[in-house]
Amino acid sequence: MGALKALVFDVDGTLADTEMAHLAAFNQAFAEEGLDWHWDVAQYTKLLEISGGKERMLHYWKQVHPDVKDIDGGGLKDTIDRLHAMKTAAYEHAVQSGAVQLRPGVLALIQSAHAAGFRLAIATTTSPVNIAVLLRNAIGPDWKDLFAVIEDASTAPKKKPHPQVYTQTLSRLSLSGADCVAFEDSANGLNAAKSAGLPVIVTPNSFTAHHDFTGALKVLPDLSGATIEQLRSWHAAA
């Protein structure tokens, strides 16, 4: 394995503990639409095994409530799209209100890695709106200047654990997986990155702590103690 050249970050659950805000936003959208759906933490934890908000709602609709009909005679896709737009608006408002913060050590590591000349990338299957509102509030209006590549749900529609978002990120970076380290919080993310050949540092959260992280380069509680020197050492030992 050659020298470490790039760091590739997942967003939801990795850069920030976003899932409680997402859960509240889903439930707000359901209520606004007049649905009797309400996801609790235990249920949402299971639903997170399905990557993607629209996919999660569709799975819930088809598997848990197969008898539910299209709302107001609308098509299934139209209803899901409308619910997702409402949920995204609710999530954006929550982030702008300060409900979501970056996880410990994340900003310091991003800034030090950028200063050290590493290329930084985002590889997520969340929406570009969600990424922008989170990082604009956490880092500032010039947050995009830190990242050489941003791949998201708009560019990589195949959700994790499919490796599409990582293979496209590597292609745009003109690097191999062995040149990078990925940062993830879930088994789906870990498996997506591993499939693309990236060693992975996992920082679980309360929604993913029960996942199987076999094959991870490191499993850490957060990034508060992670330094560039440590990353280089861990990468070299991979």
Give the C-alpha separation, 192 to 197, whole Å: 9
Q: What amino acid is encoded at 57 in this protein?
A: M
The widest CA-to-CA distance across the chain, in whole angstroms, is 58
For 214, counting Cβ atoms within 10 Å of its Cβ (0-12 exposed, 13-18 middle, 19+ buried), the class is exposed
Q: What is the rounded CA–CA span in Å between residue 8 and residue 171?
A: 13
Please report how many Cα atoms fall inside a 13 Å half-sphere around the Cα of residue 159, on the Cβ side: 14
> Which residues are 184's β-sheet partners?
202
Is 12 labeled as catalytic in the residue annotation? yes
Among 10, 17, 152, 179, the active-site one is 10
Phi, psi of 27 (to 5 degrees): -65, -35
* Given the residues 12, 152, 179, 185, the one annotated as active site: 12
Omega before 161 cis (within 30°)? yes
SS3 181: strand
Instruction: Indicate if 36 belongs to the active site.
Output: no
Positions marked active-site: 10, 12
